[in-house]
């Protein structure tokens, strides 16, 4: 999948959307989401992968995105730009759950699910301290 194809996929425009559809900036219905993340410095064990799959199977609106790191990114000094998580991270995991206006009464259930997912993955991500993408840092 190309980068622009991934943008279409995550845009919620529906099947058959094309790049020019991204120009339509009209919001068709209210959309909510909750996200958390982990930076992974060591490969996740098979037990960790099974844990994630089991949790994902319980919530069809939940999903993860895994962004790879390393390679040429490791050639950029931590002092060069304000993004210290490149060096030593294999990838980041974004934990997400989404819902629409019609399900607003279930929002606490969705947030609870993602908190439980994040807590279950604590031993598989970074630690001492646990690192997270700055836009996903939260207390709830």
What angle in degrees, to the nearest 10, is found between the helix axes of 107-120 and 46-58?
170
Which tokens is 40 given? Answer: 């992974």
Place of tokens 């001492």: 128
Query: What whole-number distance in Å separates Cα of residue 17 and Cα of residue 133?
Result: 29
**Which of 69, 87, 91, 136 is an active site residue?**
136
Q: Is 136 a catalytic residue?
A: yes
53, 100, 119 from 34: Cα distances, Å: 19, 12, 14
Neighbours of 64 (CB within 10 A): 16
Helix (H, G, I), strand (E, B) or coil at 5: helix
| HEC assignment per residue over 29-56 | CCEEEEEEEEEECCCCCHHHHHHHHHHH
**Which residues belong to the active site?**
136
């Amino acid at each position: 999948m190309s980068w622009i194809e991934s943008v279409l996929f995550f845009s919620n425009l529906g099947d058959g959307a094309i790049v020019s559809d991204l120009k339509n900036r009209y919001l068709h219905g209210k959309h909510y989401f909750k996200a958390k993340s982990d930076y992974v410095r060591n490969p996740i064990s098979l037990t960790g992968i099974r844990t994630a799959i089991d949790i994902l199977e319980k919530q069809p609106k939940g999903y993860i995105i895994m962004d790879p790191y390393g390679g040429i990114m490791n050639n950029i000094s931590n002092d060069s730009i304000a993004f210290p998580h490149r060096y030593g991270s294999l990838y980041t995991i974004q934990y997400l759950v989404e819902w629409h206006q019609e399900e607003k009464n279930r929002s606490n259930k969705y947030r609870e699910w993602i908190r439980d997912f994040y807590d279950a993955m604590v031993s598989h991500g970074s630690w001492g301290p646990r690192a997270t993408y700055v836009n996903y840092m939260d207390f709830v």
